[in-house]
């Protein structure tokens, strides 16, 4: 048996993987689980892990993490061959990828089959808010919808970040409702506003202001990857609001369609009208390219943010 878990939402996929491991351990020895990092796999190591047996026999669970991302072509070829020829029914293999996979890969197409593959894409809109509410309930965080939206404006779709912030709020405000001051103290509530101003300034070709906001965010200790995620969140809002606005949808209706509080839509409404859709879409494409260059090691995160701001200003 083989399972293929992949996608950029590594928080949700990690939860799924942990659930599978916990279910396995409830029935079999924990020693029968083997996890191997993708950059440590050789063809022989792959064969041994999949075709080998435990000392006392029995079911086995073998997890390969980020094999598609790091493994050599020879390793991929061996895996493809084993998928075709099969292995013991007692061995379950999980290919676990914490990134957006290249769908052009032959091995991806081989693995991406119904009933064995599951993709975890970043949550957005109502789905993200439902997840945030569930997480808040789990940690017994009493927070209003408006304040939860304030948190999401910073974290975006990064569930690892959201999980961390809700844990902090749970410990700090335990037993009482969360206030706006709590969020400003623990999360730096002005960050979302600053990033919105950064996007608008860059799109308006006010490079001086955009660079000033970026430098200020970095010098206050903001993580570059989190900044990229928050900027992406702001851009997605601008694109969707622009589409609805130009289609003649009233602001109140747009808030309902997007699943956003009215004050969030109101803050973006006039700004979205200042730019055309092509400009906003190109800006988002630039951001995706920067994100890819960071993940592949082409650019340093701080350099990527600066280059993104420069590109945005000349879009």
How far apart are the C-alpha atoms of 228 and 308, rounded to whole Å?
9
Asked if residue 253 has pLDDT above 60, the reply is: yes
How much is the pLDDT for 94? 97
This model's pTM is above 0.75: no
pLDDT tens, position by position, 269-311? 767 777 788 888 888 888 888 888 888 888 878 777 777 777 7
Least confident among 13-27, 108-122, 136-150, 276-290: 276-290
CA angle 120, 121, 126 (to 5 degrees): 115
Domain ranges of the chain: 2-119, 123-189, 190-315
**Which of 67-81, 173-187, 274-288 has maximum average pLDDT?**
67-81
How far apart are the C-alpha atoms of 28 and 48, rounded to whole Å?
20
**What's the average model confidence in pLDDT over 37-58?**
85
**What's the average model confidence in pLDDT over 105-129?**
92
Asked if residue 66 has pLDDT above 60, the reply is: yes
Which CATH number is correct for 190-315, 3.40.50.1220, 1.10.10.10, 3.40.50.2300, 1.20.272.10?
1.20.272.10
How far apart are the C-alpha atoms of 22 and 11, rounded to whole Å?
16
- Give the H or E element holding residue 119: strand 117-119
How much is the pLDDT for 254? 84
- Give the H or E element holding residue 3: strand 2-6
How much is the pLDDT for 190? 46
More confident residue, 144 or 290: 144
How far apart are the C-alpha atoms of 16 and 81, rounded to whole Å?
27
More confident residue, 180 or 186: 180
Q: Which structure tokens are listed for 128?
A: 């993200």
| Closest to 51 measured CA to CA, from 87, 80, 3 | 87
Q: What is the DSSP letter of 222?
A: -
β-strands 60-65, 2-6: how paired? unpaired
Residue 189's pLDDT band, with cuts at 50, 70 and 90, is very low
| Closest to 203 measured CA to CA, from 176, 242, 158, 145 | 242
How much is the pLDDT for 78? 94
Q: What is the DSSP letter of 60?
A: E
Residue 172's pLDDT band, with cuts at 50, 70 and 90, is confident
**CB 81: neighbour CB atoms within 10 A?**
11
Residue 67's pLDDT band, with cuts at 50, 70 and 90, is very high
Least confident among 73-87, 190-204, 274-288, 295-309: 190-204
Asked if residue 6 has pLDDT above 60, the reply is: yes
**Tokens 């606005």 identify what position?**
245
**What's the average model confidence in pLDDT over 167-191?**
78
How much is the pLDDT for 247? 87
CATH architecture assigned to 123-189:
Orthogonal Bundle (1.10)
How high is the mean pLDDT of the chain? 83
Residue 140's pLDDT band, with cuts at 50, 70 and 90, is very high
How much is the pLDDT for 175? 83
Q: Class assignment of domain 2-119?
A: alpha beta
More confident residue, 199 or 98: 98
**Tokens 């029914």 identify what position?**
89
How much is the pLDDT for 164? 79
């Amino acid at each position: 048996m083989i399972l293929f878990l992949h996608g950029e939402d590594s928080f949700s996929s990690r939860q799924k993987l942990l659930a599978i491991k916990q279910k396995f351990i409830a029935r079999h020895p924990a020693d029968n689980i083997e996890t191997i990092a993708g950059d440590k796999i050789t063809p022989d190591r792959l064969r041994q892990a999949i075709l080998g047996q435990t000392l006392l026999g029995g079911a086995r669970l073998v997890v390969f993490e980020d094999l598609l991302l790091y493994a050599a072509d020879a390793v991929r070829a061996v895996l493809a061959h084993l998928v075709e020829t099969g292995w013991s029914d007692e061995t379950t293999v999980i290919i676990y990828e914490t990134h957006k996979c290249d769908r052009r890969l032959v091995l991806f197409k081989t693995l991406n089959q119904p009933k064995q593959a599951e993709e975890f894409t970043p949550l957005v809109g109502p789905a993200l808010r439902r997840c945030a509410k569930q997480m808040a309930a789990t940690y017994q965080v009493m927070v209003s919808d408006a304040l939860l939206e304030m948190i999401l404006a910073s974290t975006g779709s990064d569930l690892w970040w959201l999980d961390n912030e809700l844990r902090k709020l749970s410990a700090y405000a335990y037993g009482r409702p969360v206030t706006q001051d709590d969020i400003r103290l623990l999360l730096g509530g002005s960050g979302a506003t600053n990033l919105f101003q950064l996007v608008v300034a860059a799109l308006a070709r006010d490079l001086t202001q955009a660079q000033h906001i970026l430098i200020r965010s970095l010098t206050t200790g903001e993580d570059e990857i989190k900044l990229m995620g928050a900027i992406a969140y702001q851009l997605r809002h601008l694109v969707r609001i622009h589409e609805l606005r130009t289609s003649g949808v009233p602001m109140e209706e747009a808030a309902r369609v997007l699943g956003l509080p009215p004050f969030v839509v109101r803050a973006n409404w006039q700004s979205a009208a200042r730019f055309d859709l092509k400009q906003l879409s190109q800006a988002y494409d630039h951001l995706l390219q920067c994100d890819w260059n960071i993940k592949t090691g082409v650019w340093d995160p701080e350099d990527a943010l600066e280059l993104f701001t420069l590109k945005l200003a000349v879009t």
